[in-house]
Chains A and B, each alone.
Chain A
């Protein structure tokens, strides 16, 4: 019996465990190891332990408060936070709207939210470039309607539009899942007890859908903080984010150890964030949510 159970466990867990080992743990370990090796001209690493990549990353500030690398770090975090916030502001009403519709049309609405995934993200981002270009769709329309043209392409605004566009479904889906579970009798109960619309939202709906907000923010924040495609195509390389810095190190600069060090520091930062999130989730769970 126990023999069979072990075989069954191995059969069920094996593929997943193998996947994690091959595509997560091994590459992760490789990146950590690379980050403490020596740069080799023309790419690759020399197998000599060297912590200078970290020294460079946290290194001299040339008189400024922080060095340029840290500025890119902070900028990436800032962009990720801003994107999450905008996605939340757009996604929450949208998810709420879908959840309020009759149940049989829910899947149609969710389908509409998911349709963009049928096209490659790179292609869709180029489509945005076409829309936002100085002679693009938007400006042509603006001109036809008698408005001033707007210079959007290669600006932070264009990057934000692209990031929000690409991330919105990841915000809407977990939000929908938690709003859909909400017992709307509680809304009536709160109104019955004298809560106006704002109080009902603040005291009842928001706390009860907080898990969805948390999940949505995590799903948007983490991928966006490492985004490469959007800042490159819509920011024209002028809005450098972490992804661009990394690409530069592994590409033109051919400094693999430094690129690895950047990855390691950022991974640690995100992990700390996620651990805090999960712990607060568990506390809520124990509190009877």
Chain B
């Protein structure tokens, strides 16, 4: 029997006129999971969220909540709540009335409502703001009230549409941790939409990366970062070096490829055909750098090159090393030594990496 998901999208497609916003997306989100939909603007992540909420109906495919098909249900008949990007607090209602709105719509008894509203306001740490109107609150406070208004209903799934986008950096970082903590306490499934890869990596149990309406990869932050499925994912999340290469052979997740005239070992999750043109993707911090000719780990692939650029960034320094004409690689070195003993511009160096960190990506 297939796994039962809290939220499930089955071959969902959404078209607006001739524009396809979401293309054949299938996805299962587990109960109590913090799941992020990550991608650049216009990739279809918000459309996905709006289809789960019920604001948009899928053109094809179906959406299941707790195993029940809700594809055609209006939003007010779905047990999900949304935290909107612009908060969408009701300007004519006080904070208390805003938070109580969902409970009133469910016809819950008055004293029960006031109990749950005060508890929700405590959870978002704004217990004394109840009588204010939304326009008397700061952006961060509005954000918390929007959160309280949603969680007070104890939804099966909480949908969050870039809820931290309008906050300044410091507040955003604090709210990231707070949201994560809140999610642990409530044990509610969170579906979080963001274009900020760092935010997604910090908060999520799993991430779905979208591009042009297509779900490119689903996985834990580590999987997404260390084993990107394709060039788009590798490029969108973190920095990556892409070195053009040609596949020599492939066996059991390990491949031999030819890069800049050298044959080396790399890894791949997909079977590769010999002579295919591909890219070797390697993260800058996975690249080791040594003085030229220094003895080295025999497991490591090794290139000689010249440092052509050096940018000091505080905790580490970013170097660009030219391996061959037209072939450059970015290297990040942690600044653990005093400045005088670090590498310098123009220096001839050896760079190398373990085969497991070098991924062969065909597309």
The residue in chain A whose Cβ has the minimal distance to the Cβ of B105 is A194
Cα separation A287 to B136 with both chains bound (whole Å): 10
Closest to B78 in A: A192
Q: Give the residue name and chain of the A residue nearest to B92 (CB).
A: A207
A199 to B101, CA, bound (A): 11
- A196-B106 Cα distance, complex, nearest whole Å: 11
Q: How far is the CB of B86 from chain A (nearest CB, A)?
A: 6
Mark each residue of chain B from 66 to 110: 1 if its CB lies under 8 Å from any CB of chain A, else 0.
000000001110001110101011111000000001100110000
Tell yes or no: A274 within 8 A of B by CB: no
Q: Which residues in window 255-300 of B have CB below 8 A to A?
A: none
Of the residues A193, A196, A288, contact of B136 by C-beta under 8 Å: A288
Q: Is the CB of A289 within 8 A of B92?
A: yes
Q: Mark A208-219, 1 if CB is under 8 A from B, else 0.
A: 100000000000
Taking a contact as CB atoms under 8 Å apart, the answer to whether A288 and B153 are in contact is no
The distance in angstroms between the C-alpha atoms of A107 and B341, with both chains bound, is: 71
* Given contact pairs A185-B84, A190-B101, A287-B133, A195 touches B90 in the complex (Cβ within 8 A): no
For B120, the chain A residues whose CB sits under 8 A away are: none
8 A Cβ contacts from A83-133 to B: none
Interface status of B195 (Cβ within 8 A of chain A): no
- Residues A245-289 near B (CB distance < 8 A): 284, 287-289
Per-residue interface assignment for chain A, residues 181 to 198, with 1 indicating a CB less than 8 Å from any chain B CB and 0 otherwise = 001011011111111100
- Inter-chain CA distance A192–B55, complex, in Å, is 9
Residue tally, chain B, CB below 8 Å to A: 26
Residues of B within 8 A of A185 (CB): 84, 86, 88
A204 within 8 A of B: yes
Shortest distance from the beta carbon of A27 to any chain B beta carbon, whole Å: 40
Contacting B at CB under 8 A, from A135-193, are: 183, 185-186, 188-193
Q: Is the pair A188, B88 in contact by a Cβ cutoff of 8 Å?
A: yes
In the complex the two chains form, what is the Cα distance from A35 to B90 in whole Å? 51
Residue B335 CB within 8 A of the other chain: no
Report B-chain residues with C-beta under 8 Å of the C-beta of A195: 76, 101, 105
For the complex formed, measure the closest distance between the CB of B122 and the CB atoms of chain A, giving whole angstroms.
Answer: 20
Q: How far is the CA of A174 from the CA of B58 in the complex (A)?
A: 37
Q: Which of A186, A193, A194, A204 has most B Cβ within 10 Å?
A: A193
Asked if B88 contacts A186 (CB within 8 A), the reply is yes
Q: How far, in angstroms, from A193 to B80 measured CA to CA in the complex?
A: 8
Count of chain A residues with Cβ under 8 Å from any Cβ of B? 21
Do the beta carbons of B105 and A189 come within 8 Å of each other?
A: no
A278 to B190, CA, bound (A): 46
B85 and chain A: residue at smallest CB distance: A185
Alpha-carbon distance A219/B89, docked complex (angstroms): 31
B227 interfacial by beta-carbon distance below 8 Å: no
A189 close to B88 (CB less than 8 A): yes
Residues of B contacting A208 in the complex (Cβ-Cβ under 8 angstroms): 91-92
Q: How far is the CB of B349 from chain A (nearest CB, A)?
A: 55
Which B residue's beta carbon lies closest to that of A199?
A: B105
Within 8 A of B (CB), among A206-244: 207-208
Min C-beta distance of B48 to chain A, whole Å: 16
B357: min CB distance to chain A, Å? 44
Give the distance to chain A from B148, nearest Cβ to Cβ, in Å.
12
Q: How far is the CA of A191 from the CA of B84 in the complex (A)?
A: 13
Please, how many angstroms separate the alpha-carbon atoms of A190 and B90 in the complex?
9
Asked if B135 is an interface residue, CB under 8 A from chain A, the answer is yes
Question: CB-nearest residue of chain B relative to A203?
Answer: B101
Q: Report yes or no: B149 in contact with A193, Cβ–Cβ below 8 A.
A: yes
Within residues 117 to 139 of chain B, which ones have a CB less than 8 A from any CB in chain A? 133-136
Closest chain A CB from B144 CB (angstroms) = 16
Could you tell me if B105 and A192 are in contact, using CB atoms closer than 8 angstroms?
no
- The reply on B9 being an interface residue by CB < 8 A is no
Q: Which chain B residues numbered 321 to 347 have a C-beta less than 8 Å away from chain A?
A: none
Asked if B307 is at the interface (CB within 8 A of a chain A CB), the reply is no
Q: Which residues of A contact B54 (CB under 8 A)?
A: 191-192
- A194 close to B102 (CB less than 8 A): yes
Q: Does residue B234 face the partner (Cβ distance < 8 Å to A)? A: no
Determine the distance from Cα of A109 to Cα of B89 in the docked complex, in whole angstroms.
Answer: 31
List of A residues within 8 angstroms of B149 by Cβ: 193
B91 close to A288 (CB less than 8 A): yes
From A189, A195, A284, A288, residue with most partner B Cβ within 10 Å:
A189
CB-CB < 8 A to A199: which residues of B? Answer: 105
Instruction: Indicate if B53 sits at the interface (CB-CB under 8 A).
Output: yes
Interface contact A193-B133, CB-CB below 8 Å: no
**B53 adjacent to A192 (CB under 8 Å):** yes
Q: Which of A191, A196, A207 has the most CB of B within 10 A?
A: A191
| Chain B residue at minimal CB-CB distance from A289 | B92
- Picked from B75, B101, B136, the residue with its CB within 8 Å of the CB of A188 is B75
Q: Please tell me which one of the listed residues A186, A194, A287 contacts residue B106 in the complex, with CB atoms under 8 A apart.
A: A194
Interface residues of A (CB under 8 A from B): 183, 185-186, 188-196, 199, 203-204, 207-208, 284, 287-289
B contacts, CB < 8 Å to A: 53-55, 74-76, 80-82, 84, 86, 88-92, 101-102, 105-106, 133-136, 149, 153
Known: A194-B106, A287-B133. 17 other contacts (CB 8 A): A185-B84, A185-B88, A188-B82, A189-B82, A189-B88, A190-B101, A191-B75, A192-B80, A192-B82, A194-B76, A196-B74, A199-B105, A203-B101, A207-B92, A208-B92, A288-B135, A289-B91
* 18 A-B residue pairs with CB within 8 Å: A188-B55, A188-B84, A189-B89, A190-B101, A191-B75, A192-B76, A193-B76, A193-B81, A193-B105, A194-B76, A194-B105, A194-B153, A195-B76, A196-B76, A199-B105, A288-B134, A288-B136, A289-B92
Interchain residue pairs A-B with the least CB separation, the first 7: A288-B133, A193-B102, A194-B105, A189-B88, A191-B75, A185-B88, A192-B82
